[in-house]
A and B are shown apart, each in its own frame.
Chain A
Amino acid sequence: MRLALLEMRRAKLRFGLLTGAVSLLIFLVLFLSALSGALVNSFTGAFSNLDADVLVYSDTARDNIQGSRLQPDTVAKVAAVPGVAAAGGLATTTTSAQLSTGKSDLQVFGFTPGAPGTPGGLTDGRLPSAPNETAADISDAAIGDTITLLPTNIELTVVGLLKGAQFNAAPTAYVDLASYEAAQKAANPNAPYVPINAVAVNTEPGASASTVATDIGSTVQGTKGYTMSSAIANIPGVSSVSQTFGILVGLTFIIGIVVIGFFFLILTVQKMKVFTLLRATGASTWQLTKTVSFQITAVVFLASIVASLLTFGALQGVNTGLPVSLSPALVGAVVVAVWIFSLLTGSLSVRRIRAIDPASAAGAR
């Protein structure tokens, strides 16, 4: 370790440039991962934070909650299926609304307070408990704001603020199911009833969500059950966004670790004369391997700190319109992955070290 540290201390410029380059690569991975996470979460947050183990759609919905139409009495039918602990109706629609910042599309969810389907992610205030109250995930919204649904001009008062509860990357407001029905009735006075889009289900303790979802589909006519992970994966656009960003992040990651491996290979090749001398004077291959591994670890560690600060700063400075944040878990996962794979690509350097013939220090070959 001492040899590695002394070299880094004496070659500050070289290792500084290397750390800078690795920082930028890690920054790119972190930034893209954070953006990807925020984008996917803006599509799926409503479901990710929902209090439910299973969602039930109509079997003609083609796996999309917005294409699902269920009669309100479906909730009771689903609640009667073995393995279901509780069920609640969930309705959603996209409408226009006047927000404090101007007119906008608004995704409105109706739920039964206290029943499955209640939203999560409350950061301030409370969930709605009276007609025309709402808890919303809308940027720049504040408690006490008024949201006017168009064209009905129904006014909702913001009583709670949610985070990570958007659907389809749109501002999202949650109201109780009765207020939702009233708003829908006002828009369509001749409708015989207001359909719900889904039934949210909590399973009994120990019951398999997958099994319960299947049982509901086979027991309640015209329905199909989905586990939450499958419901999230089926949200339109989610898989393509995930795949696109996955490819981007994956490619950046692979290029990053290969570049790190090459950097250290170049450093190793430049130091072959020194390593040969050290091997001749009695340093083992393992001791030299530890030196290179320590330097890789130190560079990745320092670069990770720089990259995290850079990413944090960039996310503050860039307005993506999405609630992008840098979670310690993401930073930890990326750093550990970069470190492990950098050590693996560092094995290119180790191969060179293992091939050193100490006799060449004396020029005997």
Chain B
Amino acid sequence: MASNTTTADTASTGSASTEPILRVNDVTKTYGEGHTAVTAVANASLAVKEGEFVSLLGPSGSGKTTLISMIGGLLTSTSGTIELGDVDVSTLSKKDLTAFRAQRVGFVFQASNLVPFLTAKENLVYVATLRKDYDRKQASKRADELLGELGLSERIGNLPEQLSGGERQRVAIGRALMNDPDLVLVDEPTASLDTELGRQVVQLLAREVKDRGKTGIMVTHDLRMVEYTDQVFEILDGKLSAEGTGKEKAKSH
């Protein structure tokens, strides 16, 4: 299968960098062996620059979550390489992958996935404690600032069950940004939200990623949400293809 290398280098990026910070080279993920082997992602390649927010479109079961899981160090690839800055993720041990996730990657999962017995602020501070250079005062201050920027100043002491769906997703975004990661991976952030709230959350994500000079990848099956992303990739049956800018893709829809 031919590999597909695509760089999101559209004019809409807010970054001055020209070199991709994320390089996914010919990555394949196969589950099982022999007759039962299933290829979830086949020879996928992409490159994303700093400050870019890209979307990964695809129907359920197409391999998009598998791909970002490999990029985020949650899964190891069967073949190919994934490089984030100077780190070749595909060569890291399990222990190093854990540290990599804590320090280099921010995740926003479906349905927010907050720790239910921690308040909004504690959910953010906890991920800071996973860093080797954790400083309690600094973490507290940063959590306050992030939640303030996300419009949650009044909700910092609330438990997830006391927050609305949109507020929970905003807390999850704050958590993803807490450790100042290079890469923010977002999986179906609008899955449990209505259209308008989903749109607001994606706009907020796009703004935070760009303003902070991060690299963001959003997995979605909702075409309405891609207009806020710089580049759209589509994955079908594990095969990745570039689909142009977010605005172009949204317009064609």
Interface residue ranges, A against B (CB under 8 Å)? 2-3, 6-7, 10-11, 273-274, 277-284, 287, 358-359, 361-365
Contact = CB atoms under 8 A, between A and B. Distances in A.
Given A10-B118, A277-B109, A282-B103, 11 more contacts: A3-B126, A274-B116, A279-B98, A281-B107, A282-B102, A282-B105, A282-B130, A283-B130, A284-B95, A361-B113, A363-B187
Interface of B: 31, 65-66, 68-69, 72, 74-75, 95, 98-103, 105, 107, 109-110, 113, 115-118, 122, 126-127, 129-130, 159, 175, 179, 187
A362 B68 contact: yes
B117 A7 contact: yes
Contacts of A284: 95, 98-99
A204 B29 CA distance: 80
A2 B66 CA distance: 32
A363 B98 CA distance: 18
A359 B109 contact: no
A356 to B, nearest CB: 11
Q: Which 9 A-B residue pairings sit nearest by Cβ, starting from the closest? A: A282-B102, A364-B69, A359-B74, A10-B117, A282-B101, A282-B130, A359-B75, A7-B117, A362-B69
Nearest to B95: A284
B101 A281 contact: yes
A213 B99 CA distance: 66
Interface centre among A7, A287, A361, by most B CB within 10 Å? A361
A277 B115 contact: yes
Contacts of A359: 69, 74-75
Q: Do most interface residues of chain A lie in helix, strand or loop, or is the interface mixed?
A: helix
B101 A358 contact: yes
Contact of A362 (B98, B109, B116, B129): B109
Given A358-B74, A362-B74, A281 B118 contact: no
Given A2-B129, A274-B115, A361-B74, A280 B187 contact: no
A11 B115 CA distance: 13
Contacts of B109: 277, 280, 361-362
A313 B66 CA distance: 60
Given A2-B129, A283-B130, A362 B107 contact: yes
Contacts of A364: 65-66, 69, 74-75
B99 A282 contact: yes
A158 to B, nearest CB: 63
